[in-house]
């Protein structure tokens, strides 16, 4: 049996961010991508995630703010490093931040809400790839830093699942060694005995 979806899943990979070019997905395509990203398992229908679009000039303004923040944290930056920070969000024409936004719930653990956010990110990536765009999801230092998250628009209780960089891409993707799947599963062999 052949399935184009299985073929797609077995060959998908990420694109190098510097090779993502304009045009970005259109507004209608972005709506489709986010509809797919929102159609994921979500225990209790809490919608414990949201999406932030970074496009246009704001990408350059964020680079300036990240460079300033990095300098406040680390002292004067060498020119190469400063330029790296300045370009963080402007290499791809569109970056979508997948934000884990946990909700208070008496029974559903936060851990499950985080996992649902990861699923949203993967569906987002898959949908963008299915529309023919290249993607690469990164987090980086600013995701692990409260001031970084705040300047990127996250509330204090929120966390970054990933910043998915999206653009037109005509390469073959970054091939890398894949896991030996046969080593990753086994039939159940009884309780863990350490
Ligand atoms: C949650 C998460 C965060 C990541 N953050 C980074 C990062 O900050 N920098 C980086 O170079 N790669 C990061 N990666 C890895 C990239 O997404 C990488 O290009 C990708 O795993 C390539 O695999 P693929 O070809 O199967 O998509 C991250 C991956 C995940 C799942």
CATH code of residue 48: 3.40.109.10
- Residue 160 belongs to some domain of the structure: yes
- Residue 140 belongs to some domain of the structure: yes
140 known member of a binding site: no
- Residue 193 belongs to some domain of the structure: no
Residues 136 and 132: their CA atoms lie apart, in Å, by 13
- Helices marked H in 75-154 — which ranges? 79-86, 110-130, 146-151
Is pTM beyond 0.95? Reply is: yes
H and E: helices and strands count for the chain: 6, 4
Q: Tell me what pLDDT residue 83 has.
A: 98
Chain length of the chain = 194
The residue nearest atom 15 of ligand 1, judged by CA position, is 138
The verdict on the CB of residue 15 being under 6 Å from ligand 1 is no
Q: Render each residue's pLDDT in the chain as its tens digit; 194 residues.
A: 799 999 999 999 999 999 999 999 999 999 999 999 999 999 999 999 999 999 999 999 999 999 999 999 999 999 999 999 999 999 999 999 999 999 999 999 999 999 999 999 999 999 999 999 999 999 999 999 999 999 999 999 999 999 999 999 999 888 899 999 999 999 999 999 98
Residues 62 and 190: their CA atoms lie apart, in Å, by 51
- Residue 73 belongs to some domain of the structure: no
Q: Tell me what pLDDT residue 1 has.
A: 75
Q: Which residues contact 66 (CB under 8 A, 6 or more apart)?
A: 85, 86, 88, 89, 142, 148, 151
Q: Tell me what pLDDT residue 104 has.
A: 96
- Residue 147 belongs to some domain of the structure: yes
Which residue range(s) make up the domain with 24?
16-55+92-168
The residue nearest atom 29 of ligand 1, judged by CA position, is 138
Tokens of 130: 């299915």
Percentages of the chain per state (helix, strand, coil), in multiples of 5? 45, 15, 40
Total number of domains constituting the chain: 1
């Amino acid at each position: 049996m052949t399935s184009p979806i299985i073929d797609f899943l077995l060959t998908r990979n990420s694109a190098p961010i510097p090779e993502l070019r304009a045009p970005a997905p259109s507004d209608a395509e972005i709506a489709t991508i986010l509809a797919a990203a929102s159609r994921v398992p979500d225990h209790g229908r809490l919608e414990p995630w949201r999406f932030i679009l970074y496009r246009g000039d704001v990408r350059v303004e964020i680079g300036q703010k990240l460079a300033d923040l990095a300098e406040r944290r680390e002292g004067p930056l060498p020119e190469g490093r400063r330029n790296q920070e300045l370009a963080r969000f402007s290499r791809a024409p569109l970056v979508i931040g997948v934000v884990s936004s946990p909700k208070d719930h008496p029974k559903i653990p936060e851990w499950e809400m985080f996992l649902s956010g990861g699923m949203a990110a993967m569906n987002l990536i898959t949908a963008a790839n299915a529309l023919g765009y290249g993607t690469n999801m990164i987090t980086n230092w600013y995701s692990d830093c409260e001031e970084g998250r705040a300047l990127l628009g996250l509330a204090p209780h929120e966390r970054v699942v990933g910043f998915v960089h999206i653009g037109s891409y005509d390469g073959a993707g970054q091939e890398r060694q894949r896991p030996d799947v046969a080593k990753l599963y086994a039939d159940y062999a009884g309780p863990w005995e350490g």
